[in-house]
Every structure is written in structure tokens, then in C-alpha cells.
Structure 1
Amino acid sequence: MRMLTKVVMICLLVPLLLLPSLQVVEARGTIAGPSTHAQSAALIDVTSGRILYSKDGDKELRIASLTKIMTAIVAIEQGKLDDKVKVTSSAFAKEGSSLYLKLGEEMTLENMLYGLMLRSGNDAASAIAEHVGGSEEGFVLLMNKKAEEIGLTHSHFMNPHGLDAEGHYSTANDLARLTAYALHNPVFKRIVATENKSAPNPNESWEYSWHNKNKMLRLYEGADGVKTGYTKKAFRCLVSSATRNGQQLAAVTLNDGNDWNDHARMLDFGFENFPLVEVAKKEQPVANMDVVTGRGFTYPLAESEKASVTKKLVLTSNRNEVGSDTEDEQMDPSFGLAGRIDMQLEGQFIGSIPVYRKGSYIPPEPKTEDAAIGGIGEISTWAAAWREVLGHLLSP
């Protein structure tokens, strides 16, 4: 019978030979940001969650149809894509932008989501909300709960479509974090990157055909999302995303009369000044230790930040009084786990990578959509995995 596992945590500063070291300098204080016409703006690296540029980013403002980013991700997470969504009297002929759905018409949730994000259909937003949340009010509760879960501290939703309402607001920084969260969902990512979509029309001989309102998909190289917005009180709002050299950025502007050009400048600024830097490679030996890194780690860094990152090696002494040499144990990711390396940028946690004993089983790295989102909802994939593995180590 296996005895209790004994775990001892030992914190050590990582030697300089361990990994390429990085000097942390506040990049936003040393690099002039792009000029924009926006009342508020933000730029985020999607994988890491690092905000690279912010202009009055925490100012609470009306956000128009950018609301539908939250509507879409909640519906994707809570609903079933092949469900039939019925257009009720309260969703039919909703004011503002519309798919012109008929009263009583049914459409799959997936197709409604395409109409929601490509054509900004307010009728689709209300129909989706009623289907997934039981009522529009019930769905709004889910929206605000999700905002709380992912750490959006300056956001509150009153409806699923974004029509002007008191108490309905967000910020550029919060919308950047929301977008980064949503883009890690492969369904959301696929929908917002789509330029044209057709869908069955049960009432006519012709199909619905939707052309994405987001001109960035056609104007900017590598563009792959996300959403436009406008009301008479919110003015022009836009969230865009683009991917170059394996790095995805998302830009947000609120109340910006020249948003297409401003977004191109913001995205250019991010790609040029904050490229992804490989801080660690998978299975890289740790100097003077019998362990190797369990995964690679990249982070967006300015040239002036490449002198030193503070890194701390946290070792776990895992000893069983009974040997652990069965095949199942050797395939258990926790079997060879020796600890982790925590990394910080100016005293702020930016990520961790596990370290394993040399020669032990190392689990595969997560897929792109499961990769860490540092700083979003105060959790990253590895941080969550570490807690799970640590809990396993501490259990009998």
C-alpha cells in the first residue's frame, strides 16, 4: 500500500546560465505609442495577455455592438451549436442592425452566431440570449458572471446587443482582455475570421448571404477578426485582430472616427516593437541541476526589455516510501515533475514552465487554443495544471 507522498518546496533564484535573462523595463514608458483619434484605445498580445499600449484604457464608455463579443463567447460556451434557435416576438424586428429574421423562424445557433458577428444582427443577439439564457435577463446574468470570471473589473452589461442603455459599459482594456480570452476558443476564432457566410433560409428560395462588416479583414495583412460597433451615443467602436509570424494581437478603439487607419497603426506598432521572444526552449537543461524544462516559453518584449527577467526555480522533493516504477506511473505527468520556473516582469508574474527530472516522461505541450493567457482572469494553463499536479502530489 502506497504511503503518503512527502512534498518539500524549495525556492531558488535561477542561475544566469539557466535561461536567457531579461532586464525588465516598463516598455510603455520608454516607447512612444501610436497616435490615434480614439477617446480610448488598447492593444493586447493574445497569447500572453500583455497589454502593449493603452490610452485611457480604464475609462468606462459605451461600447455599442462590441457587446456581441461577450454574447458570442457566452453562447458558445453555454449553448450547443446545432441547437435550433427560434425567433420570438421580442427578438423579431429588433431596432438597429438586423438579419431580418422572420417571426417564428428557426436557425441553428452556429449560423445565428455567424449572423451576429458578421452582420451584427440585433435580432440574432436577442434570439440567442433567450435560447441560451432562458430569457434576455437570464443571459445578461451569464454575461456579467463571465465578466467577473475573467477579471473584467470595469465592465457591466444590460443587454446582449449593445443598444445604448444606462449601466451598460466597458473599457478598452477590458475589451482587449475579453477579446484575448475569446480568441482562445477555436469556434469564436473561426467565426470572426470569416469574410463571407451563407446559411439556409427556410422562408425563401434563396439563402442568407452575409458579408463581414469588418473591413480590416480586407485592408490589413494577417487580419483575422473581430467586431465593429456603432450607436449615436457610443459612436464608432472597433476591435480588430491580426496574426503575423505566429503572434496574434488585438486592438480596441472606442469613439474613433478614423478607426481603420488607427487600427493599422496600432497593430503595426505592436508587431514592430513587441515581437515574441523565446525565453525558454522545451527540454532545455537547467544549469547545475538534473532537470530539464517541460515546455517552451515565449513572451512579447521590447528590445529594451531583453536584458533580464527575474526567474525563480521552485523544486519539489517527491519521495514515496514504496518505489514508483510501474508503467502507469511513468506515463503520469506528475511522476517526473521536479518543480517549476516562475518568471516575472518588473515584479509581476508573467508565466511558469514546469521542470522534469532528466529521462522522465514529459507530457506534450498544449495546443495553441489551450496556451497560457497570462494575466487574464489571474490564471494561465500551466498555472492551472500546476495546481492540479500539486494537488495530486499532496494526495495519498
Structure 2
Amino acid sequence: MDSSFDWKGFAFTLKFSALLGMMMIGWHFGSERALSYFSSPASLESTAERLAPSFPIASAQTYSSTTPERIIEQLTIPEAIPRHGKFIVADLSGMDLLLYQDGTEKAEFPILTKGRPGSFFETPTGFYSVLSKSKNHFNAGEGVYMPYSMQFYGNYFIHGWPYYPGDKPVASTYSGGCIRLSTDDAAKVYAFADQGTPVFVYDASTTRVTEPLSIGNVPGPSISAAAYLIADVDTGTVYLEHDAETPRPIASLTKLMTALVANETIMFYKNIEVTKGDLDHSPAAADALGETFTVGDLFYPLLMESNNAIADDLARYYGTNGFVAWMDSTARSLDMSESRFADASGVSPQDVSTPDDLFRLARYEIDHKSFIFRISKTPIKSLTSRQGDKFVFNNFNLFSGDPDFIGGKVGKTGQAGETMLSLFSVPGQEATHRVAIIILDSKNYRTDTQKLHDWITSAAASAQSSAACASCSVKQYRTIDP
């Protein structure tokens, strides 16, 4: 339970501010965009390589729990390398880790394991820094040693081959999302890296369509939403928009950020006790009894039923103020420059964003945390608590039964009106595109989203004829930069 003042969150905020200040003073990158934004904020696989952060950090604690900011770029490795100072590149496509000094490659080592793509522990990509180092950290939760550990983000590390007490190495399939090297190679990287050394985690394996949809000459629909956006997840191309860069309350679309931050800061298998009333929305005294679930289980009521109490329960795990600060930090790292958060549920009118910013969040999640959208379209889910009680969750998100619906989230408050973010598959001439439809301050999110979906599918279909393509080929679209 939170007290009247969140000391854990306060301690987190102080440390985050101090770390951010040091990084802004001390680091220089070749890329201007990186300089502008960078700061250091599976069937289930084993989580032995992940370390749960603790709040607040005692003076004797060697690991930082501060989540560094990150900018999600589509830079190539050569574009990211700075001309001065040390730099570490983890190329998850080529499975190589490279060390650079003053723009020159000094060493290269094979990456042995990474987080499985599409899993809850997929290795995050972007710009980071070495937050902390330990020559032989013992993960008490899993009972293994992690030699030459270098924490670069939340629960993620670069390290050597883990082993059990008695020197028995873990199996090659034993992975929880960290970047694993051989122990000898990890020792060399450990000797090279300083606390604060920048780290660029790169993955070019995500398949993207490079050309935008051809759009026929179909008039845009009339809808009630004050702001909306139709944009291509694969190209960043904006096909239709209105006032997409003005911040507005977003209601429960906030929970997409809540899910991301919870996944990257709380171990997926950790248990959280909630009440029966939290799960079935009942105020009855009998429903105050505790029910225990894993963090991963709680994503289902969070995303399927938009459960506000569960959002608050997740935020309280390390302290609500600290969690919300993490949400703001992650928004900045994703270049969501107009987004701010005040709670984890979306109830506050101070949870604000723009269609442009929400597009950036959706694109990152579908590429790197796709389970969030998979859960959001699950029709029905049954879960059993550790106490043996069974709960059934239904999907409140519209279009969850549509075969072209990839996933999404709805929201509604008095101040925000009705809000919705949806991803759909839209067939094009050469390939199927993933298209985001985002509406804010709507009077009817079902009708508005359906009209926008009908428009993009109709416009794309009409471009299939050569006559339509002749007229649409000269169109120029705004692009949301990655």
C-alpha cells in the first residue's frame, strides 16, 4: 500500500535526475538525433539472467535500478558510431558485439544468446549505457552466478555464461533476454567498458515494407473525433490525419505504456497479490480477500478488460511515483515528446499524448513487445490464482474478432471522450501493410474507427487499377520519423 508520500518513487526520481544530468554533461554522439534524445534511463524462458530492480537503492547496492531513456531509431551501425570516446554495439541480427574507440573498431565477439523475438523477454533495442558492473553477480532468485555482468537497461545485462554454485554451467537454452557472451569474451568487454559507456543494441531483422500503400482518390470520411491519424507502421507514412500533433487526454490508452514499463521493470514471473474485488470490480467486503497472480497473468485483465485497479497494483510494485516517472522516461526515449503521464490507469486528465506519439509507441510495441498486442486481441482468458480461485476475463476491445485486427486498446473518460488505438492488416499491391488507426476525443470510437478502417481499405483497393494508380502515384505523404 502507498503511504501519503511515495518515498520509493521520490528516491527513484532523485537518482534518475542525477544520472540524466551526468549523461548530458559527459557524452557526445556523432548522430545529432542521438545527441538530442539519448540519455541513460518463449514458452517462457528461464529468467536467471534477469535481476529484479529494488527501490530505493541502498548505498551498498552496486546495481542501478534506474531505467535509462532510449531512442528507437532505424539507424545503421555506422551511422550510430560516435567519433570520440568508447562505444559498444550489440548487433542482434549478426549476433556480434563490437567495441569502438574514437570511431574505430577495436574488437568483435560473438553473441551466444539473446531474448527470443516475440517473447516476454525479447531483448530491447535502442541507445543505452552501462549503468552498473559486477565481476560475478549472484542472482539469489534463480541461484546462479552471472560473471562479468554489465547492466544496460532495467532487467537487461551483457554478461558471461551463467553457472550454478559448484561451477555447473546453465544449459544453452537457459535465457531470460540478456546478451550472453562466452565468459572469456565478457571479461574483455568488462575491462573495456566503464560505467556510463554508451551501448547501441541494434536489430535489423524486423521485416518492413519499404514502399507506402498506393491510395486511390477516395474522399476521407466525416467522423466525430477531434483528432485522428491513419499511418503505416512499416513505413511511417501518414495517409490521413487531423490535428495529430496536439496533446489531448488519452484515457485508458495509457495502459499500453503501463504494460510496456511493467514488462521491462518487473520480472514476469514475480507474484503480486491483488484482491478479488480488483479482478471482478466488486466493492463487497468479501471481495477484499487476496488473490495471487504472476505479473504476466495480470496483463490479461489490464489489456483485455482495461482494469484500472490492476494498473494501479502493477504501479505500486516498486512505488507509484517511481513507476509513473518511468513511464515519462520511456515516452521521452521513444521520442513521444508531447506525452506526459500522471497515473498508470489513464483516469487522470493529465495522461496526455498525441496521435503521432501514440503511433510511435504502437510501432515499438508491435516490433519489440508484440505480446502486448496479442493479449489485447485475445477473445477470452481463464486464469487461476495461487489460492485456487478461477477468473474469466472477456475482451472489451472492439474488433477483437476481426481477422484483420492485429490488436489495440480503447479508452473513455469524461475529459478524454472516447479514444482508441487499433492496428489492422491492410492489403496493398505488393504486400500487406500494418496500419495504425488512432482517434482521440471521439463521441463514438466504434463508428469513427470503422469509418477510417473502411476508408483505408477502400482507398488501397481502388488503387489496384492502373487508372487509380496513375492519379495516386504523385501523392506526397507526411512521414513520422522512426
Q: State TM-score, norm by structure 2.
A: 0.48
Residue equivalent to 2:358: 175
* Paired amino acid for 2:408: V
Residue equivalent to 1:213: 396
1:6 and 1:163 mapped to 2: Cα distance? 50
Residue equivalent to 2:260: 73
Q: Does residue 1:106 correspond to 2:288, yes or no?
A: no
2:249 and 2:220 mapped to 1: Cα distance? 24
SS in 2 for 1:216: coil
Superimposed CA distance per residue, residues 44-84 of structure 1 (whole angstroms, 9 cap, x where no aligned partner): 21222323221111222111111001111222233322221
Structure 1: gaps of 5 or more residues: 8-20, 278-300, 309-344, 351-373, 377-396
TM-fit CA distance, 1:213? 0.4
TM-fit CA distance, 1:235? 1.9
Residue equivalent to 2:347: 163
Residue equivalent to 2:481: 375
Superimposed CA distance per residue, residues 160-196 of structure 1 (whole angstroms, 9 cap, x where no aligned partner): 101124x331122222221222122222132112111
Identity %: 25
What aligned pairs does 1:1-396 form with structure 2 within 5 A after superposition? 32-87=219-274, 98=281, 102=288, 104-131=290-317, 134-165=318-349, 167-184=350-367, 185-203=369-387, 205=389, 207-218=390-401, 220-245=402-427, 246-273=432-459, 304=471, 306=473, 375-376=481-482
Aligned residues: 263
Change in 2 beyond 3 A, CA 1:36/1:126: same
Superimposed CA distance per residue, residues 218-247 of structure 1 (whole angstroms, 9 cap, x where no aligned partner): 3x4411321111112222111122224432
Alpha-carbon contact 1:44-1:180 (below 8 Å) kept? no
2:298 and 2:260 mapped to 1: Cα distance? 13
Superimposed CA distance per residue, residues 184-220 of structure 1 (whole angstroms, 9 cap, x where no aligned partner): 2222132112111111134564x111111012123x4
Change in 2 beyond 3 A, CA 1:169/1:109: same
Q: Which moved more, 1:250-259 or 1:264-273?
A: 264-273
2:471 and 2:260 mapped to 1: Cα distance? 36
1:210 and 1:204 mapped to 2: Cα distance? 16
Change in 2 beyond 3 A, CA 1:259/1:137: same
TM-fit CA distance, 1:304? 4.7
Residue equivalent to 2:181: none
* Paired amino acid for 2:355: A
* Paired amino acid for 2:239: L
Residue equivalent to 1:317: none
Alpha-carbon contact 2:342-2:348 (below 8 Å) kept? no
Could you say which structure has the greater relative contact order, defined with CA pairs below 8 angstroms and 6 or more residues apart? 1
1:6 and 1:237 mapped to 2: Cα distance? 48
1:149 and 1:232 mapped to 2: Cα distance? 29
TM-fit CA distance, 1:269? 2.5
Change in 2 beyond 3 A, CA 1:27/1:198: same
1:98 and 1:305 mapped to 2: Cα distance? 50
1:303 and 1:250 mapped to 2: Cα distance? 26
TM-fit CA distance, 1:303? 6.2
1:202 and 1:208 mapped to 2: Cα distance? 12
Change in 2 beyond 3 A, CA 1:303/1:75: farther
RMSD: 3.7
Alpha-carbon contact 2:218-2:458 (below 8 Å) kept? no
SS in 1 for 2:422: strand
SS in 1 for 2:248: coil
Residue equivalent to 1:288: none
Structure 2: gaps of 5 or more residues: 1-102, 106-209
